[in-house]
Amino acid sequence: MDELLETTFLGIGLKNPLVVASGVLGTSASLMERAAREGAGAVTSKSTGSEAWAGHANPVTLAWGNSVINAIGLTNPGCQEELPILVETKRRLNALEVPLFASIFASTAMEFGEVARVIAQAEPDLIEVNISCPNVASDFGEPFSANCASAAAVTRSVRSAVSIPISIKLAPNVPNLAQIAQAVVAEGADAITAINTVPAMLIDAYASRPVLKNKTGGLSGAAIKPIALRAVWELAQAISVPIIGTGGVASGLDAAEMIMAGASLVGVGSAVVNGGPAVFRQIAQELSEFMQQEGYQSLEEMRGKAL
């Protein structure tokens, strides 16, 4: 274990600040265990809702350079079926001393609380509340992350349902990101995850139609790193709770930039498409080497340096 990378988040000890982002390697206990063994500091499960949901028809995802566009559509088995998966995952990750973050979504504020109550039975270390998926508007309507009132209502519902720490996952494509973050913190959010994927589209000019069956999707990877950095930087100056900075992190230098923008933890998602699960160990090593080279003695010393 690299002592330089050790950190504490909401009282939870992590071997390093790298978190498997929701939707990546988070569908089974074996995959989440593998991510932990490959060097992830914490693992986030794929978002689950109240009922089983098939998601969108293929094609649903495409690698685009060092980025990915997807419209998977929150495919999940439903929270009752997800519960035993999380119980088994929690058992396996406890043996590895790696925290489990469980991601949830719902179609109403009240339903968010109901899903959170079910998932809390697995005793995850944190519940990440996904109110910002950009590719399900046709299924569930405007994301709850679009304004202060709806984001606050969801947070209030989840906070009243569980005592486990909660992080609200926000979207970047809003005019008042800091105000929305402040609204959810006021309702009891312990942390903020920023950002979700960015609404986007790819068109096949030869076929004269969008590449994705859903037409639009969420863009992640290198293309959104500057957007994510700006969001984390803005949030770090507006709220006092910790931030899980997510978006375009594929190297130790990327992770350092996110931490300098104010992130406490760093989500890694699309980098797994190109680098596989071993990318977590690679990023951690590169981050440690950067810190040694630049004379940083801890992550806390580096955090927020760009503010």
User: Which pLDDT tens digit goes with each residue over 177-196?
Assistant: 999 999 999 999 999 999 99
User: What confidence category does residue 223 fall into, taking pLDDT thresholds of 50, 70 and 90?
Assistant: very high
DSSP annotation of 214? T
Give, in order, the Cα–Cα distances in Å from 11 to each of 65, 82, 186, 273, 281: 38, 26, 20, 31, 23
142 pLDDT higher than 90:
no
More confident residue, 167 or 25: 167
Q: At what angle do helices 225-236 and 252-260 cross, to 10 degrees?
A: 30
Domain ranges of the chain: 3-57+73-198+222-302
The catalytic site residues sit at: 133
Separation CA 27–CA 293 (nearest Å): 37
Beta bridge mates, 9: 12
- The number of C-alpha atoms within 13 Å of 214 and in the hemisphere containing its C-beta is 26
The chain-wide mean pLDDT, for the chain, equals: 94
136 pLDDT higher than 70:
no
Please give the distance of CA 74 from its chain centroid, rounded to a whole number.
Answer: 13
Return the CATH superfamily for domain 3-57+73-198+222-302.
Aldolase class I (3.20.20.70)
pTM to 2 decimals?
0.96
Q: What is the pLDDT of residues 10-64, one digit of tens each?
A: 999 999 999 999 988 889 999 999 999 999 999 999 999 999 978 788 888 899 9
